[in-house]
Structure 1
Amino acid sequence: MNTVVLLHPQNTNVQTTLEHACPEEPSWDEDFADVYHELIHSPASDTLLNLEHNYFVSVSELISERDMELKKLQERQATEMDKVMQELGKTMTDQDVNAVASQHFDAQQVLENKWANELKQVTHIQKQEYQEWVIKLHQDMQNPNNSTINEEIKMQPSQLTEESEPGARLYEEQRQLEESFTIHLGAQLKTMHNLRLVRADVLDFCKHRRHGSRGTKLRRLQTALSLYSSSLCGLVLLVDNRVNSYSGIKRDFATVSKECTDFHFPRLEEQLEVVQQVVLYARSQTSKHKDQPEVPRNGSSCEDKNQNVEKNSSNILPGEFYISRHSNLSEVHIVFHLCVDDNVRSGNITAREPAIMGLRNILKVCCTHDVTTITIPLLLVHDMSEEMTIPWCLRRAELVFKCVKGFMMEMASWDGGISRTVQFLVPQSISEEMFYQLSNMLPQIFRVSSTLTLTSKR
């Protein structure tokens, strides 16, 4: 029983009890989390993963049907538009072409909405069925009179077989390009950390595969085992200043998150709606104090920032980030959506760049919320472009390496010194030569521990 008290300002030894707070009752989400955590660490883990995989395959097949139907519609519309364009200036006018284009757009919107509603309904049913089934399975396993359930679970074969699908072997070979290091950071009390340099697409850490390849089952099991633990996995996703899932990497990430039902957390769209409301509230609070003088930072004035906010109060600023939670991604529980602008593509950013300071704040959140593995885009971009020459990559990598090293040394004061894994991610399109140059740079900056061999002469 919690008690709310009031301290008298004249005498802090005197307390007045205002009310007794009612004891908090466990919520459904908390009960389900406890049950799931217990089952996933029991012989029933294979059973849970099998069911999740079956649901995933079902949704994947539905998405394939949707994509096929949309493709047929687009091909049919393209043929129709070609015929209209051939008649332009003869029997058709510009107004006729615009009318046909408008009809095509409306038809696509109707079809997309139809499939979106169907997918939403299917995932809602799957989530409800899954949670009810998990609760019932836990009850059956707790029943001493029902001993057969444990034997049935032990005999059930795994459906996450190590089969190869087309492209799976190539994916694994590409993903194998990585280097691992062990370092010790700290002044007096040193803490051991694991560092990795990985060449991969950022969404490779999120995608599930319908057929297993080497390590697929192990990764999926490890992600499930640590879902409700003090060893969470995070990923930094670089996004623009709009909180939505309509364009660019945000749309691709949303597509991946929809391929598998999330049985533990709200859908991504629902989480983004909450973020939007929080941003609007924060901006409204900021606008109340905008007349107060503030110290400019990062080379831009507060007046410029306020003008940007006034244009669209639902947008976030470079260096700010929002968080989404997931149980349906391959190797990630938490995604940090870090806002960056075009300035990250220039070659003259400093340690005070908003994106760099955003990384520092993200690492601080990792320390306070049990995220022990974090994946960071080393070059602060997800794709390579022409201006990203070898000198550009080397300067950017050196800057991020040094800044992250400093942030990691700060971690000791934030969390008392906990061993962590930091993965530095470079785009899949980067050359092997460039990858190994970056790999050689990392131990020089972090001073990787090496074995010292002592010999004695007799």
Structure 2
Amino acid sequence: MKKSKGKPNSSAEKEFVFEFRAGKYNCILKVPLQFPVQVNISDLHGRLMLLHKIPCYVENELKSTLSSFIEKETTLDYDKEAEVALQRLTTGDVDVNQLASAWARSYAESTLEHARPEEPSWDEDFADVYHELIHSPASETLLNLEHNYFVSISELISERDMEIKKLQERQAAEMDKVMHELGNTLSDHDVNAVASHHFDAQQVLENKWTSELMQVTCIQKKEYQDWVVKLHQDLQKSNNSSKINEEIKVQPSQLSEEADSGARMFEEQPQLEESFTIHLGAQLKTMHNLRLVRADVLDFCKHRRHGSSGAKLRRLQTALSLYSSSLCGLVLLVDNRVNSYSGIKRDFATVAKECTDFHFSCLEKQLEEVQQVLLYARVQRSSKQKEQFEIQKNGGDDKSKSVERNPSNILPGNGCTLNSEFYVSRHSNLSEVHVVFHLCVDDNVRSGNITARDPAIMGLRNILKVCCTHDVTTVTVPLLLVHDMSEEMTIPWCLKRAELVFKCVKGFMMEMVSWDGGISRTVQFLVPKSISEEMFYQLSNMLPQIFRVSSTLTLTSKH
């Protein structure tokens, strides 16, 4: 009969006896052990050596004898339990059929081939339905509805901004009056009270609008998903496809092309762009597309409220590739705090809120999940540091000790530091982007002495690797590793930084062959909008020299 892998049920105390010779003395060690043994054999052996001062030359013999004793006695306990179980079976104390059913049930529950197939989730069902509809004549209707929801949210945000602005103007005027009376009829305590009242009033107003926007977004998402499912069901039930197509095409579109004087419009700025085609690889060469673009990083995320035909095509292209193997990614440079309260993170969160995401969780929820994962990762790293500390106590080098003493360091082997880490958010409500890589950087990227081993550069490598493993075929990368220009970023600084990033990205792209087998990709190098045209064209001339852009060779023959 096959023995169980678990521990015996019965508990008993047995004496372990070990004889050894110390000089001219014969010594006997007797230790009572409780079976089943719950402690680690190595730990028990170590305690016995230390507690009874056993000579080191019998250390291995003691461990071998102890292991054999525990294994032998444990096997005997198993055999006794097996004999008792067989005896109960032969005497009829146990129902054979019931026992066989229990074994069959346990086997089926623990074996993958007998497991029930997982039921598809609502998100998966909705994704399949949407993917089918967006590739049908119903696509225009879907985009029109999404745009109508976008306009509704935009108007609500405009109303919120106007109300907050009016409140701030009233409070500023009131504060001016208070400051004018300071020292006459009012004291510092009165000024502080007015400032506190103003702060509370702003918080109440902002919380009110946040709650209202969240409620409207939830209603839009529910209505949209229900409508998409119903439309798909109606299309499946109908037999006259031409009639359905006609009905879909005449759905009223509120995509107005006329400019509204009161509407918030994104002005189209002249955008500089250069495109190149390259072939990379040692033996099997893969074709890639490279672009150098001068634009604001959020231009790839914003929707135009009164968009041109080009904006509509971009929106359609983004929707068509939402559930595909050709996703678009964007690298956003942020600090190491996972929130949306300051800087570019706040601006990006504002853009993400302007249009309801009908497929994924809102940005705030995704950031909360990232924070939970980050806390778990820190716990894991802390436990590894403790393990490293235990190793060093038994004999380790000074390097491991210095790592353990500084809890902000990552143990060797993880291959990254805090500033080279990134987190990912998914979006269906951005103009040209499905995936945003939030790359954590610090002020060091503004210095001119970073190298190819800098955390920001290694973060780009890790991002490109994720792009290969998760079907992101188009990725936009900040070429200078900054989103805004500053005084220290001179022409030599820009040229040196661009050369470094170009060469590193080229090396990473050549590594892609081993990551994905060689798939054609598009890499967009983004430079800040404030950069000069002269600097842009200098960078444009540098790119083909580093990547060795393909050129057409014309052959002529003389007759």
TM-score by length of 1: 0.90
- Give 1:235 shift: 0.2
In 2, the alpha carbon distance for the partners of 1:165 and 1:218 equals 22
Q: Mapping of 1:123-142 within 5 angstroms?
A: 123-142=217-236
Residue 341 of structure 1 aligns with which residue? 442
Give the secondary-structure state (helix, strand or coil) at the position aligned to 2:120. coil
Give the secondary-structure state (helix, strand or coil) at the position aligned to 1:324. strand
Residue 64 of structure 2 aligns with which residue? none
1:402 aligned onto 2:503: yes
1:258 aligned onto 2:353: yes
Residue 474 of structure 2 aligns with which residue? 373
Deviation per CA, 1:380-426: give whole Å up to 9, x if none: 00000000000000000000000000000000110000000000000
In 1, the alpha carbon distance for the partners of 2:500 and 2:260 equals 40
Deviation per CA, 1:18-66: give whole Å up to 9, x if none: 3432210010000000000000000000000000000000000000000
Give the secondary-structure state (helix, strand or coil) at the position aligned to 1:289. helix
- Give 1:213 shift: 2.2
Aligned match for 1:192, one of 287, 300, 306: 287
In 1, the alpha carbon distance for the partners of 2:382 and 2:426 equals 29
- Give 1:209 shift: 1.0
Identity, % of aligned positions: 82
1:360 aligned onto 2:461: yes
- Give 1:95 shift: 1.3
- Give the superposed CA RMSD: 2.3
Residue 414 of structure 1 aligns with which residue? 515
In 1, the alpha carbon distance for the partners of 2:508 and 2:235 equals 46
Aligned match for 2:200, one of 106, 109, 113: 106
Does the 8 A contact of 2:332 with 2:436 survive in 1? yes
1:221 aligned onto 2:311: no
- Give 1:163 shift: 4.9
Q: Tell me which amino acid in the other structure corresponds to 1:318.
A: N
- Give 1:305 shift: 6.1
- Give 1:307 shift: 3.6
Residue 531 of structure 2 aligns with which residue? 430
Aligned match for 1:384, one of 470, 482, 485: 485
Given the superposition, is the C-alpha separation of residues 304 and 373 from structure 1 closer, same or farther in structure 2, using an over 3 Å criterion?
A: farther
Given the superposition, is the C-alpha separation of residues 186 and 389 from structure 1 closer, same or farther in structure 2, using an over 3 Å criterion?
A: same
Unaligned runs of 5+ in 2: 6-106, 411-416
Q: Tell me which amino acid in the other structure corresponds to 1:120.
A: M
Residue 141 of structure 2 aligns with which residue? 47
- Give 1:455 shift: 1.6
Residue 188 of structure 2 aligns with which residue? 94
Give the secondary-structure state (helix, strand or coil) at the position aligned to 1:33. helix
Give the secondary-structure state (helix, strand or coil) at the position aligned to 2:515. helix
Q: Tell me which amino acid in the other structure corresponds to 1:271.
A: Q
1:243 aligned onto 2:338: yes
In 1, the alpha carbon distance for the partners of 2:273 and 2:422 equals 27
- Give 1:453 shift: 1.0
- Give 1:173 shift: 4.4
Given the superposition, is the C-alpha separation of residues 442 and 30 from structure 1 closer, same or farther in structure 2, using an over 3 Å criterion?
A: same
In 2, the alpha carbon distance for the partners of 1:306 and 1:359 equals 25
Residue 9 of structure 1 aligns with which residue? none
Deviation per CA, 1:96-143: give whole Å up to 9, x if none: 111111110010000000000000000000000000000000000111
Given the superposition, is the C-alpha separation of residues 91 and 169 from structure 1 closer, same or farther in structure 2, using an over 3 Å criterion?
A: closer
- Give 1:255 shift: 0.3
Deviation per CA, 1:330-364: give whole Å up to 9, x if none: 00000000000000000000000000000000000
Given the superposition, is the C-alpha separation of residues 209 and 280 from structure 1 closer, same or farther in structure 2, using an over 3 Å criterion?
A: same
TM-score by length of 2: 0.74
Give the secondary-structure state (helix, strand or coil) at the position aligned to 1:306. coil
Q: Tell me which amino acid in the other structure corresponds to 1:234.
A: G
- Give 1:89 shift: 1.0
Q: Tell me which amino acid in the other structure corresponds to 2:270.
A: Q
Residue 24 of structure 1 aligns with which residue? 118
Residue 174 of structure 1 aligns with which residue? 270
- Give 1:194 shift: 0.3
Give the secondary-structure state (helix, strand or coil) at the position aligned to 2:385. coil
Given the superposition, is the C-alpha separation of residues 84 and 168 from structure 1 closer, same or farther in structure 2, using an over 3 Å criterion?
A: closer
In 1, the alpha carbon distance for the partners of 2:456 and 2:407 equals 19
1:449 aligned onto 2:550: yes
Q: Mapping of 1:249-288 within 5 angstroms?
A: 249-288=344-383
Q: Tell me which amino acid in the other structure corresponds to 2:488.
A: E
In 2, the alpha carbon distance for the partners of 1:157 and 1:21 equals 49
Give the secondary-structure state (helix, strand or coil) at the position aligned to 1:203. helix
- Give 1:91 shift: 1.2
In 1, the alpha carbon distance for the partners of 2:557 and 2:268 equals 46
Range that drifts further, 155-164 or 60-69 = 155-164
Aligned match for 1:61, one of 116, 136, 155: 155
- Give 1:160 shift: 3.5
The count of corresponding residues between Structure 1 and Structure 2 is 433
Aligned match for 1:440, one of 530, 536, 541: 541
In 2, the alpha carbon distance for the partners of 1:145 and 1:170 equals 44
